[in-house]
Each structure stands twice: as structure tokens, then as C-alpha cells.
Chain A
């Protein structure tokens, strides 16, 4: 019978060397830790990773509190599993600049709001987005994540940058609460990229802090439709400081 519930290792079993993945989270808050741990166990290499930032490195303070282990995408960076990052911010986790410097990691910067819209365009069937953000800056002249030139379009006398959709093989998302069908909600500031990344990849995997049977909760609470989710993993731990 139809069943989306898998273990973390089963959820990442299809991730191959060289694939593109997108991962929710903002400086580690809202990142799917059990899925990152499973990717590390699998030892997949040469990934392209889309996310807001590089999470946190080993021992790096989370806010004013010291983190004991790396967080989020930081786990993949710590294990040299990434060849290319597509992010809005690469300044916090020091592994990023270290790996840029030694030539093992390439980066493409995308303004935070534009990054969300490029991902949303991929999930929801748009050919791209027109944004005024980045005009007159390196965002206009730099090539995009796939080495394509960006077009400037004039619509009703106003200039916009045309930004293409950003699609991946896997979306890895953290949910605070989900049901077994994959409907989910993300609490407070853990929403960040965990909402738009659903459906923007061939496979959407959520790691739920709390998983409930279908029908237990009022359907009105769900922020994202379970129809976008292929796999549901239970046992995402509450954030430990």
C-alpha cells in the first residue's frame, strides 16, 4: 500500500555523486539534521548544494551558544562532499572560504529573495522571474549557476533582471510537525527555505520532528501540501543547544 515513511538512510539512498540537492535552514535553524547525517554516512561526493548559507561548522557558536557538532549543510562541507554551492550568504561557516581558497569548492551567489523565487519558480511551473534586485551590480553581469548570461528585460519602461528557475534532484526539508501523508508545518523561524523547496526537486524528502497519523490534526494547520512530498522521515531531533 502507498506509504511515504522511510528511514533517513532509505530516503537518501538514491542520491548519487554529482547530483544537485537543496537543503532548508538558516544558519542551522530549521535544517534537516537526520538527512544530513544520512548523506554523510552514504559518503556521496561532488554535490551541488542549494541553500541560504553553509550552516554551522564544528564547534562554531550558534548565536551566543556553542554548537557541539556541525549543523545543516555544515556537515557536508566538513566532509568535503560538495563541489559547488548556490547560496546568498557564505560568510559564517569558515569551511566555505577555506574550500574556495584551496580550489575544491566553487560558489554562485544569489540574493536571498531572488534565491527563494528561483526555487519557487521551479516548484510552481514558472519560466523564471523578473526582479529589479541585482541591476547595476555583479548579479547583472556575472553568469548564473549554470554559466548562462542573464538577460535584462524592459517591461513598461522599467528594467528587470530575468532569473531562471532553480531545480534540483532532491529537496531536503525539516518539518516541525507532519502527518504520514507528508502534509507539514514548520514552526516560527524554521520556515525559511523549508516552504519553497517542497516540489522544486524530483524528490522531496521531509524530516519531521513530530510525526502524526493522518487525520489526527486539523488539516487547517498544514503550511505545505503532502502531495509535494515523496518521502517522510521520522525522528528529526528538537534543536539541541
Chain B
């Protein structure tokens, strides 16, 4: 399982280009930072208050005034800029944060996303997830393809939405997919799985790219 999550994080890291300003969610998305190529400059947004997260702080680098959005003490890059919540989310809604990487409970064929609440369960709240999904031009979902075999990619979401028609890319252990007006297009297939297996693990009819490539694990 840990290996599969690392595979997804590693593949997601290849998505970004030199100069990108992105936001990584909590959990698997945070692992993407470990695999960002060293020859490109990527700036990560921490929605609680700055652009330019570096790494987790240790006893020597600890600054009690710098946490990430998960409440962990982190360090800031020399190019970091601190800001308040209004400016932080102005950057998000204004489309200036190019991409957000998040997990999902359900993704619909049209890009609808549900990842913040299960009615009747403990309430966590959306935090900044709704703002990020609406504001960021690219919403990249990194997740295991199914929930212990149950479909997560579906015709329609059954849970309350985080945002409508927002997901642009889905990266799982099985495949890399794009959400298009025609439907969900598979662009890369992992060699451990057949097309039939991926289709079976998915609740919508997948479209196979004519240019289908093997999953990039380099």
C-alpha cells in the first residue's frame, strides 16, 4: 500500500513544470513534494499563510511562527512570502495557484468532486478545499483507484460535493487519466494491470487514448 502511494506521488510530481506555483493537500498529496525534480523551481502554497514551503522543521530550524496547513512545523524557502488568509485565498480564487493536489472519496465523470464530508460521520469541515477546487485551474486527484474494491470514479457523486466540474486529472496506482468533455480519458496504463482490470475498477466507461502510454515510473 505504501509502495502504491509512493508510486502515485512520484508520478504526480512529473506533472509540474519549471516555475509552477502549486498547493499540495494533506496526506498522499504532501508526499508529492518528496519527488519534485531538483532541476525545476516549484513553489508550494501553504494556505494558512505563505508561499514557499521548504521541509519539516527539526529542533535546529524550528520557528514556532511557521506551520503548514496541517499544523506541522515547517521551514520556509528564501523566496517565501508570508500573507494573511484573505491574501492567501485571493491568490487561490484568482487562479494564481496553478494546481491543487488532493485526495478524493468520489470523482464523477464530469469532474465533480466529493472529498470533505460523509453525512452522519464525524464533521471535519472543508477548510480551504472548496476554495482550492474552484480557484485552481488544475485540480489533480491522487488516490488509490478504489476504496477496497468499491468504485471511487463514478457516473455521479453520491456524497455532498466539494466543487462542481473541477477535477482535471486523476492519478491512481493503475492509471493516469484526464477529465474531458467527452468523459474520462486514460493516457497512461500501469504494466501491472490490464485495460479490463482498470475498467472493472472504474464506475464509468473509460475512453482509451489513441496515444496510450505506459505509466511513467522513471
Contact = CB atoms under 8 A, between A and B. Distances in A.
Interface of A: 26-30, 52-53, 62-65, 87-92, 96-97, 100, 107, 109, 111-117, 120, 131-139, 176, 186-196, 223, 238-239, 241
A176 to B, nearest CB: 7
Nearest to B85: A116
Nearest to A101: B122
A186 to B, nearest CB: 8
Interface in B69-99: 69, 71-73, 76, 82-86, 88-90, 92-93
Interface of B: 46-50, 62-67, 69, 71-73, 76, 82-86, 88-90, 92-93, 112, 117, 122-131, 134-135, 160-164
Given A111-B128, A138-B160, 6 more contacts: A26-B49, A64-B72, A89-B125, A91-B122, A135-B134, A137-B164
Given A27-B67, A63-B71, A239-B65, A189 B82 contact: yes
Given A29-B65, A63-B71, A63-B72, A189 B50 contact: yes
Contacts of A239: 64-65
Nearest to A30: B65
A112 B135 CA distance: 13
Contacts of B128: 88, 111-113
Nearest to B46: A189
Contact of B161 (A116, A137, A176): A137
Contacts of A109: 123, 125-126
B88 A113 contact: yes
Nearest to B71: A27
Contacts of B135: 113, 133
B163 A137 contact: yes
A111 B63 CA distance: 28
Given A188-B76, A190-B65, A195-B84, A112 B127 contact: yes
28 contacts: A26-B48, A26-B71, A27-B67, A27-B71, A62-B71, A63-B72, A88-B125, A89-B124, A89-B125, A97-B122, A97-B123, A109-B125, A111-B129, A112-B128, A115-B85, A120-B86, A132-B93, A133-B131, A133-B134, A134-B134, A135-B134, A137-B161, A138-B160, A188-B82, A189-B66, A193-B85, A196-B85, A241-B64
Contact of B134 (A88, A107, A112, A132): A132
B65 to A, nearest CB: 4
A188 to B, nearest CB: 4
Nearest to A56: B71
Given A87-B125, A188-B66, A133 B86 contact: no
A112 B123 contact: no
B65 A136 contact: no
Nearest to A224: B84
Contacts of B134: 132-135
A58 B216 CA distance: 46
B65 A189 contact: yes
A194 B128 CA distance: 17
Given A133-B130, A133-B134, A113 B64 contact: no
